[in-house]
Structure 1
Amino acid sequence: MIFITLTGLILLIIFFFIVTYNKLIKEKLYVKESFSTIDTYLKKRYDLIPNLVSTIKGYKEYESQTLEKIVSARNGYMGSTSPEDKIKNENNFSEIFTRIFALQESYPDLKANENFLTLQNQLNKIEEDILQARKYYNGCVRNYNISCETFPNIIIAKIFHFEKYSFFIIEDLEEKQNVKINF
Protein backbone atom coordinates (compact mmCIF):
# COMPACT_ATOMS: atom_id res chain seq x y z
CA MET A 1 0.00 0.00 0.00
CA ILE A 2 2.82 2.38 0.84
CA PHE A 3 4.49 1.54 -2.48
CA ILE A 4 1.33 2.44 -4.42
CA THR A 5 0.93 5.72 -2.49
CA LEU A 6 4.58 6.60 -2.97
CA THR A 7 4.42 5.76 -6.69
CA GLY A 8 1.24 7.84 -7.06
CA LEU A 9 2.88 10.78 -5.29
CA ILE A 10 5.98 10.57 -7.49
CA LEU A 11 3.83 10.38 -10.63
CA LEU A 12 1.82 13.38 -9.41
CA ILE A 13 5.01 15.41 -8.87
CA ILE A 14 6.35 14.40 -12.30
CA PHE A 15 3.01 15.31 -13.88
CA PHE A 16 3.09 18.71 -12.13
CA PHE A 17 6.63 19.38 -13.41
CA ILE A 18 5.67 18.45 -16.96
CA VAL A 19 2.49 20.55 -16.99
CA THR A 20 4.19 23.58 -15.44
CA TYR A 21 7.24 23.32 -17.70
CA ASN A 22 5.03 23.09 -20.79
CA LYS A 23 2.96 26.08 -19.61
CA LEU A 24 6.12 28.18 -19.18
CA ILE A 25 7.41 27.13 -22.60
CA LYS A 26 4.06 28.01 -24.21
CA GLU A 27 3.97 31.43 -22.56
CA LYS A 28 7.59 32.07 -23.52
CA LEU A 29 6.75 31.28 -27.14
CA TYR A 30 3.78 33.68 -26.99
CA VAL A 31 6.17 36.41 -25.83
CA LYS A 32 8.59 35.67 -28.67
CA GLU A 33 5.79 35.52 -31.24
CA SER A 34 4.29 38.79 -30.04
CA PHE A 35 7.68 40.53 -30.17
CA SER A 36 8.17 39.16 -33.66
CA THR A 37 4.93 40.91 -34.64
CA ILE A 38 6.19 44.21 -33.24
CA ASP A 39 9.50 43.67 -35.00
CA THR A 40 7.70 43.12 -38.31
CA TYR A 41 5.72 46.35 -37.97
CA LEU A 42 8.80 48.30 -36.92
CA LYS A 43 10.78 46.99 -39.89
CA LYS A 44 7.90 47.97 -42.14
CA ARG A 45 8.00 51.46 -40.65
CA TYR A 46 11.78 51.64 -40.98
CA ASP A 47 11.51 50.61 -44.62
CA LEU A 48 9.43 53.74 -45.25
CA ILE A 49 12.13 55.98 -43.78
CA PRO A 50 14.34 56.20 -46.91
CA ASN A 51 11.29 57.31 -48.93
CA LEU A 52 10.37 59.85 -46.30
CA VAL A 53 13.92 61.17 -46.12
CA SER A 54 14.14 61.56 -49.89
CA THR A 55 10.78 63.40 -49.91
CA ILE A 56 11.93 65.79 -47.20
CA LYS A 57 15.45 66.37 -48.58
CA GLY A 58 14.32 69.36 -50.61
CA TYR A 59 13.12 71.01 -47.40
CA LYS A 60 16.05 70.26 -45.15
CA GLU A 61 18.09 73.45 -45.01
CA TYR A 62 18.75 73.25 -41.28
CA GLU A 63 17.08 69.89 -40.60
CA SER A 64 19.88 67.76 -42.04
CA GLN A 65 20.93 66.77 -38.51
CA THR A 66 17.42 65.48 -37.77
CA LEU A 67 17.43 63.37 -40.93
CA GLU A 68 20.90 62.02 -40.15
CA LYS A 69 19.82 61.11 -36.61
CA ILE A 70 16.75 59.32 -37.98
CA VAL A 71 18.82 57.28 -40.43
CA SER A 72 21.35 56.52 -37.69
CA ALA A 73 18.59 55.44 -35.27
CA ARG A 74 17.03 53.27 -37.99
CA ASN A 75 20.37 51.57 -38.60
CA GLY A 76 20.82 51.09 -34.85
CA TYR A 77 17.49 49.30 -34.61
CA MET A 78 18.16 47.14 -37.66
CA GLY A 79 21.49 46.07 -36.14
CA SER A 80 19.95 45.12 -32.79
CA THR A 81 19.64 41.45 -31.98
CA SER A 82 18.00 41.13 -28.56
CA PRO A 83 14.49 42.36 -27.71
CA GLU A 84 15.97 44.61 -25.00
CA ASP A 85 18.33 46.29 -27.49
CA LYS A 86 15.50 46.68 -30.00
CA ILE A 87 13.26 48.27 -27.37
CA LYS A 88 16.04 50.67 -26.37
CA ASN A 89 16.75 51.61 -30.00
CA GLU A 90 13.04 51.96 -30.73
CA ASN A 91 12.69 54.45 -27.87
CA ASN A 92 15.62 56.45 -29.28
CA PHE A 93 14.11 56.34 -32.75
CA SER A 94 10.62 57.37 -31.59
CA GLU A 95 12.03 60.41 -29.83
CA ILE A 96 13.79 61.58 -33.00
CA PHE A 97 11.03 60.48 -35.38
CA THR A 98 8.45 62.85 -33.90
CA ARG A 99 10.57 65.73 -35.18
CA ILE A 100 9.92 64.77 -38.82
CA PHE A 101 6.28 65.68 -38.63
CA ALA A 102 7.14 68.94 -36.94
CA LEU A 103 8.90 69.86 -40.20
CA GLN A 104 5.60 70.15 -42.00
CA GLU A 105 4.72 73.11 -39.79
CA SER A 106 7.83 74.93 -40.99
CA TYR A 107 7.24 74.09 -44.65
CA PRO A 108 3.70 74.58 -45.96
CA ASP A 109 4.75 73.10 -49.31
CA LEU A 110 5.64 69.88 -47.52
CA LYS A 111 2.10 69.65 -46.13
CA ALA A 112 0.80 69.72 -49.69
CA ASN A 113 3.36 67.24 -51.06
CA GLU A 114 1.42 64.16 -52.14
CA ASN A 115 4.29 61.74 -51.47
CA PHE A 116 4.76 63.13 -47.99
CA LEU A 117 1.04 62.88 -47.22
CA THR A 118 0.89 59.29 -48.51
CA LEU A 119 3.91 58.32 -46.43
CA GLN A 120 2.46 60.09 -43.41
CA ASN A 121 -0.81 58.15 -43.76
CA GLN A 122 1.08 54.86 -44.12
CA LEU A 123 3.17 55.67 -41.07
CA ASN A 124 0.08 56.58 -39.05
CA LYS A 125 -1.48 53.21 -39.90
CA ILE A 126 1.72 51.40 -38.99
CA GLU A 127 1.91 53.35 -35.71
CA GLU A 128 -1.59 52.14 -34.82
CA ASP A 129 -0.55 48.56 -35.62
CA ILE A 130 2.59 48.96 -33.50
CA LEU A 131 0.52 50.26 -30.60
CA GLN A 132 -1.79 47.22 -30.75
CA ALA A 133 1.18 44.86 -31.08
CA ARG A 134 2.85 46.48 -28.04
CA LYS A 135 -0.32 45.95 -26.01
CA TYR A 136 -0.40 42.29 -26.99
CA TYR A 137 3.33 41.84 -26.30
CA ASN A 138 3.07 43.49 -22.88
CA GLY A 139 0.09 41.26 -22.04
CA CYS A 140 2.08 38.16 -23.01
CA VAL A 141 5.07 39.38 -20.98
CA ARG A 142 2.82 40.05 -17.99
CA ASN A 143 1.33 36.53 -18.11
CA TYR A 144 4.73 34.90 -18.59
CA ASN A 145 6.39 36.91 -15.79
CA ILE A 146 3.50 36.13 -13.42
CA SER A 147 3.87 32.44 -14.19
CA CYS A 148 7.61 32.61 -13.57
CA GLU A 149 7.26 34.43 -10.27
CA THR A 150 4.32 32.69 -8.59
CA PHE A 151 4.60 29.69 -6.36
CA PRO A 152 5.00 26.80 -7.16
CA ASN A 153 5.90 27.69 -10.78
CA ILE A 154 8.89 29.68 -9.56
CA ILE A 155 10.57 26.41 -8.58
CA ILE A 156 10.44 25.06 -12.13
CA ALA A 157 11.29 28.48 -13.58
CA LYS A 158 14.46 28.65 -11.46
CA ILE A 159 15.46 25.03 -12.16
CA PHE A 160 15.16 25.50 -15.93
CA HIS A 161 16.41 29.14 -15.97
CA PHE A 162 13.29 30.84 -17.28
CA GLU A 163 14.22 34.54 -17.24
CA LYS A 164 11.78 37.43 -17.02
CA TYR A 165 11.13 39.57 -20.08
CA SER A 166 11.02 43.36 -20.11
CA PHE A 167 7.91 45.28 -21.01
CA PHE A 168 7.92 47.41 -24.16
CA ILE A 169 7.44 50.85 -22.65
CA ILE A 170 7.88 54.38 -23.90
CA GLU A 171 10.57 56.13 -21.90
CA ASP A 172 10.45 59.86 -21.22
CA LEU A 173 9.12 60.81 -24.61
CA GLU A 174 6.99 63.77 -25.49
CA GLU A 175 4.17 61.26 -26.09
CA LYS A 176 3.90 60.70 -22.33
CA GLN A 177 3.61 64.39 -21.52
CA ASN A 178 0.33 66.25 -21.29
CA VAL A 179 -0.69 68.19 -24.34
CA LYS A 180 -0.66 71.95 -23.78
CA ILE A 181 -3.49 73.82 -25.41
CA ASN A 182 -3.28 77.60 -25.74
CA PHE A 183 -6.26 79.71 -26.72
Structure 2
Amino acid sequence: MTILIIVIVAAVIVTLVYNRLVALRQTTRQAWGDIDVQLKQRHDLVPNLVETVKGYATHEKDTLENVVKARQQAVDAGSLKDQAQAENMLSGALRQLFALSESYPDLKANQNFLSLQTELAELENKIAAARRFFNNAVAEYNTAIEQFPAVLLAGPFGFKTEEFFEVATTERARVEAAPNVSF
Protein backbone atom coordinates (compact mmCIF):
# COMPACT_ATOMS: atom_id res chain seq x y z
CA MET A 1 0.00 0.00 0.00
CA THR A 2 2.79 2.49 0.81
CA ILE A 3 4.45 1.75 -2.53
CA LEU A 4 1.20 2.67 -4.28
CA ILE A 5 1.03 5.95 -2.34
CA ILE A 6 4.66 6.74 -3.20
CA VAL A 7 3.97 6.04 -6.89
CA ILE A 8 0.85 8.22 -6.85
CA VAL A 9 2.68 11.09 -5.09
CA ALA A 10 5.58 10.80 -7.56
CA ALA A 11 3.15 10.82 -10.50
CA VAL A 12 1.41 13.90 -9.13
CA ILE A 13 4.74 15.70 -8.66
CA VAL A 14 5.91 14.79 -12.17
CA THR A 15 2.58 15.96 -13.62
CA LEU A 16 2.66 19.27 -11.73
CA VAL A 17 6.29 19.99 -12.67
CA TYR A 18 5.69 19.04 -16.32
CA ASN A 19 2.56 21.21 -16.57
CA ARG A 20 4.39 24.18 -15.00
CA LEU A 21 7.23 23.86 -17.51
CA VAL A 22 4.75 23.64 -20.39
CA ALA A 23 2.93 26.76 -19.15
CA LEU A 24 6.18 28.71 -18.82
CA ARG A 25 7.34 27.61 -22.27
CA GLN A 26 4.02 28.74 -23.74
CA THR A 27 4.30 32.11 -22.00
CA THR A 28 7.76 32.50 -23.53
CA ARG A 29 6.47 31.61 -26.99
CA GLN A 30 3.55 34.01 -26.64
CA ALA A 31 5.91 36.77 -25.52
CA TRP A 32 8.07 36.15 -28.60
CA GLY A 33 4.93 36.31 -30.75
CA ASP A 34 4.21 39.77 -29.31
CA ILE A 35 7.71 40.94 -30.24
CA ASP A 36 7.38 39.40 -33.69
CA VAL A 37 4.15 41.31 -34.37
CA GLN A 38 5.81 44.60 -33.41
CA LEU A 39 8.89 43.84 -35.51
CA LYS A 40 6.74 43.05 -38.55
CA GLN A 41 4.93 46.36 -38.15
CA ARG A 42 8.32 48.06 -37.97
CA HIS A 43 9.48 46.23 -41.10
CA ASP A 44 6.32 47.33 -42.93
CA LEU A 45 6.90 50.95 -41.94
CA VAL A 46 10.49 51.14 -43.21
CA PRO A 47 9.74 51.14 -46.98
CA ASN A 48 7.34 54.08 -46.55
CA LEU A 49 9.97 55.93 -44.58
CA VAL A 50 12.64 55.27 -47.21
CA GLU A 51 10.33 56.42 -50.02
CA THR A 52 9.54 59.63 -48.15
CA VAL A 53 13.22 60.38 -47.59
CA LYS A 54 14.13 59.53 -51.21
CA GLY A 55 12.23 62.52 -52.48
CA TYR A 56 14.28 64.90 -50.37
CA ALA A 57 17.67 63.24 -50.07
CA THR A 58 18.34 61.72 -53.46
CA HIS A 59 22.13 61.95 -53.11
CA GLU A 60 22.06 60.02 -49.79
CA LYS A 61 21.81 56.73 -51.67
CA ASP A 62 24.17 54.80 -49.35
CA THR A 63 22.15 55.59 -46.25
CA LEU A 64 18.90 54.58 -47.93
CA GLU A 65 20.44 51.37 -49.26
CA ASN A 66 21.75 50.52 -45.78
CA VAL A 67 18.26 50.89 -44.33
CA VAL A 68 16.72 48.71 -47.05
CA LYS A 69 19.45 46.08 -46.67
CA ALA A 70 19.14 46.04 -42.87
CA ARG A 71 15.35 45.70 -43.13
CA GLN A 72 15.68 42.75 -45.49
CA GLN A 73 18.15 41.03 -43.19
CA ALA A 74 15.74 41.53 -40.29
CA VAL A 75 12.86 40.08 -42.30
CA ASP A 76 14.96 37.07 -43.39
CA ALA A 77 16.53 36.33 -39.98
CA GLY A 78 15.94 32.82 -38.75
CA SER A 79 17.15 32.19 -35.22
CA LEU A 80 16.54 34.44 -32.25
CA LYS A 81 20.23 35.39 -32.19
CA ASP A 82 20.19 36.28 -35.91
CA GLN A 83 16.96 38.21 -35.40
CA ALA A 84 18.47 40.23 -32.56
CA GLN A 85 21.59 41.05 -34.60
CA ALA A 86 19.53 42.03 -37.64
CA GLU A 87 17.18 44.21 -35.59
CA ASN A 88 20.15 45.95 -34.01
CA MET A 89 21.55 46.66 -37.49
CA LEU A 90 18.16 48.00 -38.57
CA SER A 91 18.02 50.26 -35.50
CA GLY A 92 21.44 51.67 -36.36
CA ALA A 93 20.47 52.24 -40.00
CA LEU A 94 17.26 54.00 -38.94
CA ARG A 95 19.22 56.24 -36.55
CA GLN A 96 21.43 57.25 -39.49
CA LEU A 97 18.33 57.94 -41.56
CA PHE A 98 16.84 60.18 -38.89
CA ALA A 99 20.16 61.93 -38.38
CA LEU A 100 20.16 62.60 -42.12
CA SER A 101 16.85 64.44 -41.77
CA GLU A 102 18.65 67.14 -39.78
CA SER A 103 20.41 68.16 -43.00
CA TYR A 104 17.14 68.57 -44.90
CA PRO A 105 14.79 71.13 -43.32
CA ASP A 106 12.08 70.44 -45.91
CA LEU A 107 12.16 66.73 -45.06
CA LYS A 108 12.17 67.47 -41.36
CA ALA A 109 9.01 69.57 -41.85
CA ASN A 110 7.29 67.03 -44.13
CA GLN A 111 4.04 65.89 -42.50
CA ASN A 112 4.33 62.34 -43.85
CA PHE A 113 7.90 62.03 -42.54
CA LEU A 114 6.90 63.38 -39.15
CA SER A 115 3.98 60.98 -38.99
CA LEU A 116 6.18 58.01 -39.91
CA GLN A 117 8.82 59.12 -37.41
CA THR A 118 6.21 59.32 -34.64
CA GLU A 119 4.77 55.94 -35.59
CA LEU A 120 8.23 54.39 -35.57
CA ALA A 121 9.01 55.90 -32.16
CA GLU A 122 5.79 54.41 -30.78
CA LEU A 123 6.69 51.03 -32.27
CA GLU A 124 10.17 51.21 -30.75
CA ASN A 125 8.59 51.78 -27.33
CA LYS A 126 6.24 48.82 -27.85
CA ILE A 127 9.13 46.63 -28.98
CA ALA A 128 11.15 47.60 -25.90
CA ALA A 129 8.21 46.75 -23.61
CA ALA A 130 7.60 43.45 -25.40
CA ARG A 131 11.30 42.64 -25.22
CA ARG A 132 11.31 43.23 -21.45
CA PHE A 133 8.28 40.97 -21.05
CA PHE A 134 9.86 38.28 -23.25
CA ASN A 135 13.18 38.38 -21.41
CA ASN A 136 11.34 38.14 -18.09
CA ALA A 137 9.39 35.12 -19.36
CA VAL A 138 12.62 33.52 -20.60
CA ALA A 139 14.33 34.13 -17.25
CA GLU A 140 11.43 32.56 -15.37
CA TYR A 141 11.31 29.58 -17.76
CA ASN A 142 15.09 29.02 -17.68
CA THR A 143 15.11 29.27 -13.89
CA ALA A 144 12.29 26.74 -13.60
CA ILE A 145 14.16 24.29 -15.83
CA GLU A 146 17.24 24.52 -13.61
CA GLN A 147 15.43 24.14 -10.28
CA PHE A 148 14.94 20.88 -8.47
CA PRO A 149 12.95 18.67 -9.17
CA ALA A 150 12.28 20.10 -12.66
CA VAL A 151 15.95 19.73 -13.60
CA LEU A 152 15.45 15.95 -13.41
CA LEU A 153 12.53 16.10 -15.84
CA ALA A 154 13.42 18.97 -18.20
CA GLY A 155 16.01 17.12 -20.28
CA PRO A 156 14.10 13.87 -20.76
CA PHE A 157 10.92 15.75 -21.68
CA GLY A 158 12.73 18.02 -24.17
CA PHE A 159 12.69 21.32 -22.30
CA LYS A 160 15.70 23.43 -23.27
CA THR A 161 16.79 26.86 -22.14
CA GLU A 162 15.76 29.79 -24.31
CA GLU A 163 17.89 32.73 -25.45
CA PHE A 164 17.22 36.29 -24.37
CA PHE A 165 16.43 38.96 -26.96
CA GLU A 166 19.32 41.32 -26.28
CA VAL A 167 19.91 44.87 -27.38
CA ALA A 168 23.34 45.54 -28.88
CA THR A 169 25.92 46.81 -26.44
CA THR A 170 26.11 50.23 -28.11
CA GLU A 171 22.31 50.52 -28.10
CA ARG A 172 22.14 49.47 -24.45
CA ALA A 173 24.78 52.04 -23.54
CA ARG A 174 22.85 54.74 -25.40
CA VAL A 175 19.61 53.83 -23.63
CA GLU A 176 21.16 53.47 -20.16
CA ALA A 177 23.51 56.45 -20.28
CA ALA A 178 22.51 59.33 -18.07
CA PRO A 179 22.03 62.55 -19.99
CA ASN A 180 24.62 65.28 -19.53
CA VAL A 181 23.12 68.54 -18.40
CA SER A 182 25.13 71.73 -18.35
CA PHE A 183 24.17 75.35 -17.92
TM-score, length-scaled by structure 2: 0.91
What SS class does the counterpart of residue 159 from structure 1 fall into? coil
Pick from 113, 128, 131: which aligns with 2:128?
A: 131
Alignment-derived partner of residue 13 in structure 2: 16
**Unaligned residue ranges in structure 1 (runs of 5+):** none
Alignment-derived partner of residue 141 in structure 1: 138
Amino acid at match of 1:38: I
Alignment-derived partner of residue 6 in structure 1: 3
CA contact (8 A) 2:70 2:89 kept: yes
Distance 2:173 2:70 in 1: 20
Amino acid at match of 1:99: Q
Structure 1 pair 16–133 and aligned structure 2 pair: CA distance change class (3 A) = same
In percent, how many aligned pairs have the same letter? 37
The answer to whether 1:109 aligns with 2:106 is: yes
Q: CA RMSD in A?
A: 1.7
Structure 1 pair 91–68 and aligned structure 2 pair: CA distance change class (3 A) = same
Report the Cα offset of residue 120 of structure 1. 0.5
Amino acid at match of 1:33: Q
Alignment-derived partner of residue 169 in structure 1: 166
Pick from 72, 76, 88: which aligns with 1:75?
A: 72
CA contact (8 A) 2:24 2:141 kept: yes
Report the Cα offset of residue 88 of structure 1. 2.2
Alignment-derived partner of residue 84 in structure 1: 81
CA contact (8 A) 1:27 1:143 kept: yes
Distance 2:172 2:106 in 1: 26
Pick from 158, 162, 165: which aligns with 2:155?
A: 158
CA contact (8 A) 1:95 1:173 kept: no
Q: Would you say how many aligned residue pairs link Structure 1 and Structure 2? A: 180
- Large movers: runs of 4+ above 4 Å: 179-183
